[in-house]
């Protein structure tokens, strides 16, 4: 049997801020194998919660939180210039890889090529620096996203304005720049993508076929851009495992459009989130609206939501898919009308929930009377969300502020929106749990046609396929080895057109 689902935003379970007397902020939050979270951002002082600072404009800031949001440790990385963390992943052996940008050539940073460089920082499980590398040329270059590949190396998404140093070519003023690195950060291959205009990468993800999807913006009308931009357009490229372009897709209206996040969906398509100028699609106002687009696996547009917001500026910075096949977006809003039901004052953090077809289910604002924003969201084991951003407020949803802007993390309870929730036993179960050598998957029901099984780590990376081939019948079992996995939290995910089902287990 099934139970009906209410459509409302989940409640705040806890929220915490960390900061110094300077301006601090959070950029990305991701779950870790022990049930906690990693948060990255930047800081500008060495007081309050910040124990060290390298004295430049800003430092990259890395924080490890436990499952209830309490700080376990924090580290800063940088030199006498400007340094900022942009992305983080927990690595297979339990450490962390951080994508950053730097102008420093001292302190923790060495090998800067001039101006801004893309900067990769490898940490052990306790946040200690293992190695670092700068990538770039004499122009300004910066990293935006990093993923660890199944073979243990890394793929770095960056933007380059160089045509020397590590950069082998440049199509114009700025290009997408993708680097395939080995486990020590050495370059295996690197490619630039773009035209004679301005092309800036925003996000990259490894895809289920072993290739990569990368998105950002373009003003180019030539080169690798096969659909000329109207003004500033979103530009998405599908790459194979070796970095060759399989297809590209430009999206945009008559004015400026931006995209900041992309995820592969359960149907093997892709969903993008960003912002669009109101006059680009004939919205009610000329302010910026939140923008969401869904592509199929070949890059063709399936649907888009072009005028999401109110009469002031509204942005979505990140998107992820939910268990029911819908989507949740995090960003910020300055509106108090239209699709926005409430504003605490000035700029609020904003959460938006869509169904699988892109229809608005609910939205909710978070913040106080000053400027607050959300930049990252992750699903949690209990069906809720954890979101990270920055806050200048001391009222409303906020209880304290350490100085100027603070790094801000909010934990929300379970989201009960969905096409359905099972009232009976789960579709499958795992045993033993915890496990040492093997895990047994027992199916209470037959697998739907077209269903896919995946073994995932705590950050949602696809590690293996526990079963493929014949349809599994009711009451049958599938067994797979976990002996080679490091200790930690893992999940078996079953996805089909009817939704996503996930069961977690602990590897001892």
Q: Note the pLDDT tens digit of each residue in 310-356.
A: 999 999 999 999 988 999 999 999 999 999 989 998 999 999 999 99
Q: CATH second-level architecture of 10-412?
A: 6 Propeller (2.120)
Residue 203 in this model has a pLDDT that exceeds 70: yes
Residue 249 in this model has a pLDDT that exceeds 80: yes
163 closest CA partner among 186, 187, 136, 200: 136
β-partners of residue 4 are: none
**Contact indicator for 140, 116 with CB cutoff of 8 Å:** yes
Q: What does the pLDDT read at residue 200?
A: 98
Q: What does the pLDDT read at residue 488?
A: 80
What CA–CA distance (Å, rounded) separates 412 from 388? 11
Q: How far is CA 40 from the centre of its chain?
A: 12
Residue 426 in this model has a pLDDT that exceeds 80: no
Residue 401 in this model has a pLDDT that exceeds 70: yes
pLDDT band at 384 (very low <50, low <70, confident <90, very high): very high
Q: What is the mean pLDDT of residues 483-499?
A: 77
Q: What is the mean pLDDT of the chain?
A: 91
Phi/psi for 223 (5° steps) reads: 65, -130
Q: Which segments within 44-170 are labelled E, that is strand?
A: 59-65, 71-77, 83-90, 96-102, 117-123, 129-135, 141-148, 154-160
Q: What does the pLDDT read at residue 233?
A: 95
Radius of gyration of the chain (CA): 22
What is the location of CATH 2.120.10.30 in the chain?
A: 10-412
Q: What is the mean pLDDT of residues 464-485?
A: 73
**Contact indicator for 228, 248 with CB cutoff of 8 Å:** no
pLDDT band at 194 (very low <50, low <70, confident <90, very high): very high
Q: What does the pLDDT read at residue 1?
A: 27
What is the per-residue pLDDT across 92-103, written as a single tens digit (0 to 9) for each?
Answer: 999 999 999 999
What CA–CA distance (Å, rounded) separates 60 from 44? 9
Q: Supply the DSSP symbol for 278.
A: G
What is the per-residue pLDDT across 42-100, written as a single tens digit (0 to 9) for each?
Answer: 999 999 999 999 989 999 999 999 999 999 999 999 999 999 999 999 999 999 999 99
What is the location of CATH 2.60.40.3080 in the chain?
A: 424-507
Q: What does the pLDDT read at residue 423?
A: 38
What CA–CA distance (Å, rounded) separates 197 from 172? 6
The model's pTM is 0.85
Residue 168 in this model has a pLDDT that exceeds 80: yes
Percent of residues, the chain, with pLDDT higher than 90:
74
What is the per-residue pLDDT across 258-298, written as a single tens digit (0 to 9) for each?
Answer: 999 999 999 999 999 999 987 778 787 778 999 999 999 99
Residue bearing the bigger pLDDT, 239 or 457: 239
Q: Supply the DSSP symbol for 279.
A: G
What is the per-residue pLDDT across 330-343, written as a single tens digit (0 to 9) for each?
Answer: 999 999 999 998 99
Q: Residue 151: which residues within 8 A CB-CB, separation 6 or more?
A: none
β-partners of residue 409 are: 16, 388
Fold classified for 424-507: Immunoglobulin-like (2.60.40)
Bin 38: left if φ > 0, else alpha if -120 < ψ < 50, else beta.
Answer: beta
């Amino acid at each position: 049997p099934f139970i009906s689902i209410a459509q409302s935003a989940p409640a705040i379970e806890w929220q915490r801020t960390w900061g110094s007397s300077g301006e601090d902020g959070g950029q990305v939050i991701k779950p870790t194998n022990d049930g906690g979270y990693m948060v990255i951002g930047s800081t500008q002082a060495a007081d309050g919660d910040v124990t060290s600072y390298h004295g430049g404009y800003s430092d990259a800031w890395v924080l490890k939180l436990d499952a209830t949001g309490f700080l376990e440790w924090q580290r800063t990385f940088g030199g006498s210039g400007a340094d900022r963390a942009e992305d983080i992943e927990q690595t297979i052996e339990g450490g962390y890889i951080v994508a950053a940008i730097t102008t420093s050539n001292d302190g923790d940073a060495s090998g800067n090529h001039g101006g801004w460089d893309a900067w990769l920082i490898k940490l052990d499980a306790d946040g200690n620096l293992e190695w670092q590398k700068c990538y770039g040329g004499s122009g300004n270059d910066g990293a935006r996203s990093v993923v660890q590949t199944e073979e243990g190396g890394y793929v770095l998404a960056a933007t380059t304005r160089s045509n020397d140093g590590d950069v082998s070519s440049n199509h114009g003023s700025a290009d997408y720049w993708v680097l395939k690195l080995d486990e020590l950060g050495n370059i295996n291959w690197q490619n630039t993508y773009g035209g004679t205009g301005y092309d800036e990468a925003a996000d990259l993800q490894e895809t289920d076929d072993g290739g990569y999807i990368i998105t950002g913006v373009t003003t180019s009308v030539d080169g690798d851009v096969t659909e000329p931009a109207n003004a500033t357009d979103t530009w998405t490229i599908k790459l194979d495992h070796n970095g060759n372009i399989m297809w590209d897709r430009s999206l945009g209206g008559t004015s400026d459009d931006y995209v900041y996040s992309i995820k592969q969906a359960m149907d093997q398509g892709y969903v993008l989130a960003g912002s669009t100028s109101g006059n680009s699609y004939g919205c009610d106002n000329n302010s910026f609206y939140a923008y969401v687009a869904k592509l199929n696996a070949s890059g063709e547009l399936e649907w888009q939501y072009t005028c999401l917001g109110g009469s002031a500026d509204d942005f979505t910075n990140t998107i992820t898919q939910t268990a029911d096949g819908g989507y949740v977006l995090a960003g910020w809003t300055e509106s108090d009308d239209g699709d926005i039901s409430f504003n605490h004052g000035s700029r609020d953090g904003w959460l938006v929930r869509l169904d699988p077809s892109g229809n608005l289910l609910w939205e909710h604002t978070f913040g106080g009377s000053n400027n607050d924003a959300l930049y990252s969201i992750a699903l949690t084991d209990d069906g809720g969300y954890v979101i990270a951003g920055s806050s200048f407020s001391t009222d409303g949803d906020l209880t304290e502020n350490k100085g100027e802007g603070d790094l801000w993390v909010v934990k929300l309870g379970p989201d009960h929106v969905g096409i359905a929730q099972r009232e009976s036993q789960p579709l499958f179960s795992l045993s033993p749990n915890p496990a040492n050598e093997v895990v047994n998957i027992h199916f209470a029901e037959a697998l739907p046609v077209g269903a896919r099984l995946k073994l995932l780590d705590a950050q949602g990376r696809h590690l293996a396929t526990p079963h493929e081939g014949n349809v599994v019948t009711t009451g049958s079992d599938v067994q797979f080895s976990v002996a080679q996995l490091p200790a930690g939290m893992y999940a078996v995910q079953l996805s089909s057109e009817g939704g996503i089902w996930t069961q977690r287990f602990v590897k001892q």
